[in-house]
């Protein structure tokens, strides 16, 4: 590797470096202890130098060879190149001799020579950097680290190093000082201290736990758990930065490999080769920023300024951070709850420098509101940027206004849409509803105000006072007083407006005018699995509420759910969405309810509403963690914490709507839209705390569930203005319940007082940490189910089968690591039955075959791998699952002589067999990826084709948009009823196929201790079979002269030096392709019984095939070499 020329001090360097080559202008040196003659490693010098190289952060730590530039008249040396191997440094040396040495003689002074060499080297580095992935602040230092990373771990060249750190890795109680390398797919550590080398490689997809910990020995460390093994890293200079990057890389791998539903909607990380340290840090900060301020996920945090914001109603400046993205200016005070404001750029009309002495930035927004930020760093540049954005907004607004004025009159997209005919759904309304259902079905009676309505009016008045102080609308100040009013419950008339504001849905709706109307129109008449499920659940959504006993409410619910399923087909429709949307429609207009649903499903409760409800499982894991921290009595009493997960699932999925009366549940939704999932977690803790004594007295889970259900029946909202006919809490429930009535307001207030210290940042951190654990738990469940099913059909031991599964799964991941948009990513589908969730293609199978098959030493091993794959791929989809893979290896490992021979026989007849060697005699040993894919997908005309075609048609996941469960059950039943294949049912092997079969046997015997004996045995068998066939044809056609055919033994063993010379040479007269059934009757063929009977007469052949295989050794060797094998591919 060429290095930026740097001056080197050689006073004591000869103690560490040895001279290899030199000339008038250059010196090639070798690091002492590397490449010593005799392989001793240089004795003590080698140990000391290796230790220095591992610990010190210097150029010398990188490579054992270097080239220095010198001039005859100077004592100054310059390092210009280094190399990890003698071959690499020799290549650089020869280049210098051929391209630079001849030119240097024309210069007169040593200064000119040095300047020329430095310029030449810098030009080479610049040329290399054009296609380089390295985009770091210190590219020279990073290049050195990248070189050592490649040298130490031998990963594929496409593996992108993101960053590296000096740290200690703890092995027991002994720390090893070395280097931690973080790349796109691996966490790697290397240390070399006094002759002891420590090398660790963990792929991110293996990690189930990643957290910062501290104990007596390790004050602060990073704990990594993979495959049940714990690893600790400490002594970081910047542990928070390191942990942040590790977390981002682990979550990226999880999304890309396990949870593609969310990954596919995330274009930022779609190309792993473009990941950088700076990009990961920026992404992490943007995600935190968007989650805290409830902004669209597309927003990127650009600037953060620590400053003061003038709070006019309190008459003081509050210290905090101003966060600026492309479309929003946000501010949060230091404690996060004292003051918070979100200012959309579209609302800003002017930006000014009000007081240069105090570095004041003044923003004026629509509605004549002014926000005053002081002590802003670089305030002048900030004002210039904000002004340019304001000007751009104004110009775009004017252009849009001109277009609207030129076009037809349009008051609002929604108003224009009103009156258009809707879908021909049975009983659907003809227009989009523009009123909240509560205002239609329960209008307030202003003249007759009872006590509850008076309290409701007092609430409204409190909010109106708050609006006067803090402003109303998207840019209102959010303070502790706002939270206090939220806890008391939002007034019915303001609920929709404030839900829209606090959730951030108001911004989505503002920047997407008319989007919902267009979506409704496009989704009308569509018929999918989602729309079928929606129709089924429409009448189950708050059926006791009058709004959903009428056509108006049902139609609005149908439109919102169908439009969202059309917008986001990855989620489509999930149960619990109907209950949530019903409540949203009660208090928000139809379009507003749609955007609220978008905010909940895509931002506030990510990954809740998909096939595996991963988001809900993650939050339940967070809930369990909080229970252990805040309610230790329950933890000590409960042996199985999963009880809390099972009982609380509906709490999270429906925001307590399914367990609380509707008049109480809406207060919970109020808090959720203001505080996010933190409000649900706090309320869950309060519910368990309130019932602590009863839960501790329970003897089993059923009794505990009963206690909680009775408690929820007793929760009421004494201030609810809803009429009694709508309220779900009744006097009958109170008389049956052992609990006294609990007011929801008191319960929410208690949850805030006891658990309000739980910070938003802590919850998000726990979510990220538990996401790894949840997904790995789901993967473990999948593995256990697959192994349980397959273990009944194979002789491989459970432990070996588990190891085989890990290798199989690892091969899938390795093929996804180093290619953008790898097609192998689509081979994993968690929505399919367990056996089909992971499947591999022919290329992946070939790599595993070479690693695991006892026949992989065969000269035509690529052909064998291809034919085996074609035999296993019964439905011709180009993929096989783990059961098919394991059953094939089971035959190779533990099959009897007959089973192994039958397996080989089937490999050499259609549909498995296809001619490969006609392209080139060596093609059987080495097939390119393209050739392998071509041959694996090549259909072979055979008698069984119709059956295979039928099987393909019957396959439940072929050519359909959804999985046919009944077809899978039918397929499963057919497999259970499938009888043992009779050897008499096998088709006959023709002449060409028999030749290939015999060649394969010859190749299998190569290198065996009884190789000569086996060759003679197979020659005897082939001769006997051919004579038997010749006699049989003469008996069938006595009048037809038959040309004698000699046994083709010598041809079968072509390429083997040790083949028996006495075997007669064959007279091969076949075509290059397999013969068709219409060939002349003169060609011979064999039945499997004939071949089996002949081979059984040769004890050497029987011994060879019944020789036991050391499966554990095979698996261990495969595990050790799998990564390097894939890197070569």
Contact 1005, 1015 (CB under 8 A): yes
Residue 168 has pLDDT above 60, yes or no: yes
pLDDT (tens digit, 9 = 90+) per residue, 1034-1048?
776 655 444 444 444
Task: Report residue 719 CA to chain centroid gap.
Answer: 47
Question: Could you give the C-alpha distances from 560 to 69, 421, 584, 702, in angstroms and in order?
Answer: 73, 16, 10, 37
pLDDT band, residue 35 (cuts 50/70/90): low
Sheet containing strand 2-8, strands side by side: 2-8, 77-83, 65-69, 26-31, 17-22
d(CA 767, CA 295): 19
The encoded tokens of residue 536 equal 């089924």
Distance of alpha carbon 567 from alpha carbon 577, whole angstroms? 14
Find the range with the poorest average confidence among 41-45, 515-519, 972-976: 41-45
What count of Cα atoms within 13 Å lies in the side-chain half-sphere of residue 595?
A: 28
Which of the four pLDDT bands, split at 50, 70 and 90, describes residue 1069?
very low
pLDDT band at 870 (very low <50, low <70, confident <90, very high): very high
Alpha-carbon distance of 1101 to 900, in angstroms, equals 12
CB atoms inside a 10 Å sphere around CB 780: 11
Which tokens sit at 1069?
Answer: 């007269």
Which DSSP category does 829 fall into?
-
In the DSSP assignment, the letter for residue 74 is: -
Distance set, CA 745 to CA 538, 583, 742, 782 (Å): 30, 19, 9, 43
pLDDT at 137: 54
Please give the average per-residue pLDDT across 879-886, as a whole number.
Answer: 94
User: Range with the lowest mean pLDDT among 26-40, 47-61, 526-540?
Assistant: 47-61
Question: Is pLDDT above 90 for 2?
Answer: no
CA–CA dist 938, 873 (Å, integer): 12
How many of the other CB atoms lie within 10 Å of CB of 1011? 18
Q: Which tokens in the block code for residue 680?
A: 């649900």
Average model confidence (pLDDT) across the chain: 80
Q: Which residues pair with 69 in a beta bridge?
A: 26, 78
Residue 408: pLDDT band with limits 50, 70, 90:
very low
φ, ψ for residue 862, nearest 5 deg: -65, -40
What's the rounded mean pLDDT across residues 1078-1101? Answer: 79
**Span 1064-1070, mean pLDDT?**
35
Q: What is the mean pLDDT of residues 813-828?
A: 75
Residues 6+ apart with CB under 8 A from 389: 345, 348
Distance from the Cα of residue 653 to its chain's centroid: 23
Q: What is the 3-state secondary structure (H, E, C) of 576-612?
A: CHHHHHHHHHHHCCHHHHHHHHHHHHHHHCCCCCCCC
Residue in the block written with tokens 């390119």? 928
CA 309 to chain centre: 41
Residue in the structure block whose two tokens are 């003698």: 86
pLDDT at 45: 58
pLDDT value of position 958: 43
For residue range 939-950, list pLDDT tens digits in order: 644 434 444 444
Q: How confident is the model over 519-543, as pLDDT tens digits?
A: 999 988 888 888 899 999 888 888 8
What distances in angstroms separate CA 428 from CA 432, 529, 585, 789, one per listed residue?
10, 19, 16, 48
Secondary structure of 791-814 in the HEC alphabet?
CCCCCCCHHHHHHHHHHHHHHHHH
Q: Phi then psi for 742, rounded to 5 degrees?
A: -115, 125
Which positions ≥6 away from 172 have C-beta within 8 Å?
Answer: none
What is the distance between the alpha carbons of residues 248 and 234, in angstroms, rounded to a whole number?
19
Phi-psi region of 194 (alpha: psi -120 to 50; beta: other; left: phi over 0): left
Min mean pLDDT across 437-451, 605-619, 710-724, 1004-1018 is at 437-451
- Give which of 1100, 1092, 1117 is closest to 1060, Cα–Cα: 1100
> Which tens digits make up the pLDDT trace of 917-957?
544 444 555 677 667 666 676 664 443 444 444 444 444 44
Which distant-in-sequence residues (6+ apart) come within 8 Å of 797 by Cβ? 1111
Spatial distance between the Cα atoms of 1109 and 213, rounded to a whole number of angstroms: 45
Q: Rounded distance, CA 919 to CA 907, Å? A: 19
Q: How far is residue 111's CA from residue 317's CA, in Å, rounded to a whole number?
A: 62
Give the pLDDT of residue 1056: 41
pLDDT > 70 in the chain, percent: 77
Q: Which pLDDT score, from 0 to 100, does residue 1113 have?
A: 93
Q: Look at residue 1065 in the predicted model and tell me its pLDDT.
A: 36
pLDDT-above-90 percentage for the chain: 39
Per-residue H/E/C for 1081-1093: CCCCEECHHHHHH
Q: Tell me the average pLDDT across 320-343.
A: 88
pLDDT of amino acid 51: 58
Q: Which of 50-54, 197-201, 1014-1018 shows the lowest per-residue confidence on average (mean pLDDT)?
A: 50-54
H helix runs in 344-436, sequence order: 379-406, 413-417
- pLDDT for residue 47: 59
The 3-state secondary structure of 243-287 reads HHHHHHHHHHHHHHHCCHHHHCCCHHHCCHHHCCHHHHHHHHHHH
Strand partners, 429: none
732 pLDDT more than 60: no
């Amino acid at each position: 590797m060429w290095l930026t020329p740097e001056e080197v001090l050689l006073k004591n360097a000869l103690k560490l470096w040895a001279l290899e080559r030199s000339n008038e202008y250059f010196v090639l040196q070798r690091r002492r202890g590397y490449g010593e003659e005799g392989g001793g490693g240089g004795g003590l010098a080698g140990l000391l130098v290796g230790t220095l190289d591992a610990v010190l952060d210097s150029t010398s730590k990188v490579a054992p060879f270097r080239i220095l530039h010198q001039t005859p008249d100077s004592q100054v040396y310059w390092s210009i190149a280094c190399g990890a191997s003698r071959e690499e440094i020799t290549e650089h040396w020869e280049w210098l001799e051929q391209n630079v040495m001849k030119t240097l003689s024309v210069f007169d002074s040593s200064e000119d020579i040095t300047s020329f060499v430095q310029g030449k080297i810098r030009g080479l580095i610049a040329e290399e950097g054009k296609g380089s992935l390295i985009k770091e602040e210190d590219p020279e230092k990073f290049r050195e680290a990248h070189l050592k990373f490649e040298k130490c771990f031998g990963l594929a060249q496409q593996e992108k190093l993101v960053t590296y750190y000096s740290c200690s890795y703890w092995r027991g109680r002994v720390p090893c000082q070395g280097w931690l390398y973080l790349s796109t797919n691996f966490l790697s550590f290397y240390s070399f201290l006094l002759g002891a080398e420590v090398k660790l490689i963990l792929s991110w997809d293996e990690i189930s736990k990643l957290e910062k910990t501290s104990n007596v020995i390790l004050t602060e460390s990073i704990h990594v758990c993979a495959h049940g093994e714990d690893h600790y890293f400490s002594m970081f200079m910047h542990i928070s930065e390191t942990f942040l990057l590790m977390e981002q890389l682990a979550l990226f791998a999880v999304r890309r490999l396990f949870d593609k539903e969310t990954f596919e909607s995330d274009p930022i990380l779609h190309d792993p080769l473009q990941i950088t340290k700076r990009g990961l840090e920026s992404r992490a900060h943007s995600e935190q920023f968007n989650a805290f301020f409830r902004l669209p996920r597309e927003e990127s945090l650009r600037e953060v300024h620590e400053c003061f914001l003038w709070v006019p109603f309190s008459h003081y400046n509050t210290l905090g951070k101003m966060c600026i993205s492309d479309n929003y200016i946000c501010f949060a005070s230091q404690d996060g709850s004292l003051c918070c404001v979100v200012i959309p750029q579209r609302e800003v009309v002017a930006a000014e420098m009000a007081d240069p002495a105090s570095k004041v930035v003044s923003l004026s927004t629509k509605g004549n509101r002014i926000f005053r930020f002081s002590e802003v760093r670089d305030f002048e540049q900030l004002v210039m940027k904000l002004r340019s954005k304001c000007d751009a907004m104004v110009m775009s607004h004017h252009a849009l206004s001109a277009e609207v004025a030129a076009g037809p009159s349009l008051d609002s997209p929604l108003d224009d849409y009103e009156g258009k005919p809707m879908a021909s759904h049975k009983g659907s309304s003809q227009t989009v509803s523009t009123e909240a259902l509560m205002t239609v079905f329960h209008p307030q009676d202003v003249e007759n105000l009872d006590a509850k309505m008076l309290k409701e009016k007092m609430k409204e008045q409190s909010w109106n006072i708050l609006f006067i102080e803090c402003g109303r609308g998207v840019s209102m100040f959010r303070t502790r007083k706002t939270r206090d009013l939220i806890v008391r419950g939002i007034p019915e008339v303001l609920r929709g407006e404030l839900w829209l504001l606090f959730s951030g849905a108001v911004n989505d709706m503002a920047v997407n005018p008319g989007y919902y109307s267009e979506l409704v129109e496009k989704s009308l008449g569509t018929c999918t699995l989602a729309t079928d499920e929606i129709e089924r659940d429409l009448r189950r959504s708050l059926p006791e509420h009058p709004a959903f006993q009428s056509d108006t409410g049902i139609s609005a619910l149908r439109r919102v759910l169908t439009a969202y399923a059309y917008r986001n087909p990855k989620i489509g429709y999930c149960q619990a969405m109907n209950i949530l949307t019903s409540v949203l429609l009660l208090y928000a207009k139809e379009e507003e309810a749609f955007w609220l649903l978008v905010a909940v499903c895509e931002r506030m409760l990510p990954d809740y509403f998909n096939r595996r409800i991963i988001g809900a499982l993650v939050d339940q894991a967070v809930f369990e963690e909080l229970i252990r921290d805040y309610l230790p009595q329950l933890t000590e009493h409960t042996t199985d914490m999963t009880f809390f997960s099972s009982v609380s699932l509906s709490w999270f999925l429906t925001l307590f709507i399914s367990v609380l009366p509707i008049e109480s549940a809406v207060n919970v939704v109020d808090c959720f839209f203001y505080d996010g999932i933190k409000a649900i977690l706090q309320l869950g803790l309060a519910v368990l705390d309130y019932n602590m004594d009863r839960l501790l007295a329970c003897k089993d889970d059923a009794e505990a569930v009963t206690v909680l259900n009775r408690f929820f029946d007793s929760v009421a909202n004494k201030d609810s203005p809803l009429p009694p006919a709508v309220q779900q809490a009744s006097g009958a429930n109170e008389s049956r319940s052992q609990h006294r009535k609990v007011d929801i307001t008191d319960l929410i207030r208690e949850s805030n007082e006891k658990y309000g210290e739980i910070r938003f940042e802590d919850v998000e951190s726990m979510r990220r940490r538990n996401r790894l654990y949840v997904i790995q738990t789901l993967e473990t469940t999948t593995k256990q189910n697959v192994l349980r099913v397959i273990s009944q059909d194979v002789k491989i031991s459970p432990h070996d089968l588990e190891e085989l599964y890990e290798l199989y799964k690892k091969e899938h991941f390795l093929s996804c690591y180093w290619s953008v948009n790898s097609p192998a990513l689509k081979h994993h589908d968690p929505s399919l039955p367990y056996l089909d969730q992971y499947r591999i293609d022919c290329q992946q199978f070939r790599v595993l075959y070479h690693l695991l098959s006892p026949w992989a030493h065969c000269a035509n091993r690529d052909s064998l791998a291809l034919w085996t794959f074609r035999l296993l791929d019964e439905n011709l989809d180009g993929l096989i699952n783990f059961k098919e893979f394991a059953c094939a290896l089971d035959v190779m490992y533990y099959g009897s002589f007959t089973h192994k021979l039958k397996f080989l026989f089937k490999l050499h007849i259609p549909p498995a067999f296809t001619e490969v060697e006609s392209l080139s005699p060596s093609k059987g040993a080495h097939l390119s990826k393209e050739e392998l894919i071509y041959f694996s997908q090549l259909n072979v005309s055979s008698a069984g084709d119709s059956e295979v075609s039928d099987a393909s048609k019957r396959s439940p996941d072929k050519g359909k948009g959804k999985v046919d469960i009944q077809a899978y059950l039918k397929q499963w039943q057919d497999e259970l009823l499938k009888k043992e294949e009779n050897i008499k049912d096998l088709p006959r092997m023709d002449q060409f196929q028999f030749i290939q079969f015999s060649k394969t046997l010859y190749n299998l015997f190569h290198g065996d201790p009884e190789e000569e004996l086996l060759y003679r045995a197979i020659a005897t068998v082939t001769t006997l079979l051919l004579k038997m066939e010749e006699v049989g044809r003469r008996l069938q056609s006595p009048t037809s002269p038959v040309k004698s055919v000699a046994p083709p033994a010598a041809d079968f063993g072509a390429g083997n030096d040790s083949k028996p010379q006495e075997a007669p040479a064959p007279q091969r007269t076949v075509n290059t392709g397999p013969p068709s059934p219409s060939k002349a009757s003169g060609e011979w063929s064999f039945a499997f019984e004939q071949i089996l009977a002949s081979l059984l007469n040769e004890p050497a052949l029987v011994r060879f095939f019944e020789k036991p295989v050391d499966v554990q050794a095979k698996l261990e060797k495969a595990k050790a070499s799998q990564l390097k094998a894939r890197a070569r591919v």
